[in-house]
Amino acid sequence: MMKTKANSFFDFFKSFIMISFLFISMVSCSQNKVMEDVKFNTLTDAEANVIINKGTERPFSGKYLNHQEEGTYTCKRCDAPLYRSDDKFEADCGWPAFDDEIEGAVKHVPDADGRRTEIVCANCGAHLGHVFEGERYTDKNVRHCVNSISMNFIGKDEEVKQDTAIFAAGCFWGVEFYFQKAKGVLSTQVGYLGGKTQNPSYQEVSYENTGHAEALQVVFDANKVSYEDLCKLFFEIHDFSQVNRQGPDVGEQYRSEIFYLNEEQKSTALKIMEILKQKNYKIATKLTPASTFWKAEEYHQDYYAKKGGIPYCHTRKKIF
């Protein structure tokens, strides 16, 4: 029987719906696989209710309400440092109060109703509480009202051993995506390194042959993750055999390069590269002493954390 135009259109529409469903399912599976690789701490139901579901613990019930020990308060979900004990004060509000945060550790997110401002961990997005201004509790005139259940505490004698590493592996959005999820990483920042122009813009790096690489600066706790482990992650998340490109991105700014900050880092990187050679990998990665790191524009920072999705030119392939 000959199909009518209406039947043909209906068949086409059914096919389109099926293909769309399969595509969405594939993307969802891919995103779920990435989430499986995220190394966050295991949470109890009560912790998840606050940290993930943005609940609030009962006032005057938190373990850190009257806590006065010297040290650092960290994110319970990812261990990133959030607040110093020197910035804690008594607000008699029922929850721990701080009038300052560790620089870059906390994001301020206006509530949908516009009435309050939520505070979340800049590294993993864990809900912490809310921030208020103009109450004049302290000279800084700011109060971070934080759920105790959202935090851990490291005493002064146990504080983190902070170190820094810098890597370039193609588009810095994707590189940051994977390093932000690594255990022991405290903070990340994307920027430009290795060129001739002072304080370059993205436009200059992309179109004016400044010689810079898109790079990622990683601050990490050396007591929880080693520089060697970070080097291994660097090689596992990009194609280090490619010269001046990564996937569809082509140009000198997308080169593979390790910028070492001291001779120990250089030695470690050389050691990892030798292991790769023994595994018969071709290596195009450069090893260069770090020069000035220029922070990229704000819209480039935490790109995938803000926009959602997964990197288009980076995947993780287990090598070590």
Give the model confidence (pLDDT) of 114-130 as tens digits.
889 999 999 999 999 99
Which residue of the set 75, 124, 145, 231 is catalytic?
145
Question: Under a CB-based contact definition with an 8 Å cutoff, are residues 213 and 168 in contact?
Answer: yes
- What is the Cα–Cα distance from 188 to 179, expressed in whole angstroms? 8
Q: Which of 121, 171, 231, 313 is catalytic?
A: 171
Q: Is 171 a catalytic residue?
A: yes
Average pLDDT over residues 18-28: 44
Q: Active-site residue 313, yes or no? A: no
Beta strands in 157-234, from DSSP E residues, in sequence order = 162-169, 185-193, 213-221
Sheet holding 106-110, edge to edge: 88-89, 97-98, 142-146, 127-133, 117-121, 106-110
List the chain domain ranges: 45-158, 162-307
pTM of the model: 0.58
Could you say which architecture CATH assigns to the domain 162-307? 2-Layer Sandwich (3.30)
What's the pLDDT tens digit per position in 244-258?
Answer: 999 899 999 999 999
Return the CATH fold of 45-158: 2.170.150
pLDDT computed for residue 11 by the predictor: 53
pLDDT of residue 37: 44
Distance CA 72, CA 69 (A): 9
pLDDT tens readout for residues 83-92: 999 999 999 9
- Report whether pLDDT(320) > 50: yes
Q: What is the mean pLDDT of residues 64-87?
A: 95
CB 34 within 8 A of CB 310: yes
Q: Copy the structure tokens of residue 130.
A: 């809310």
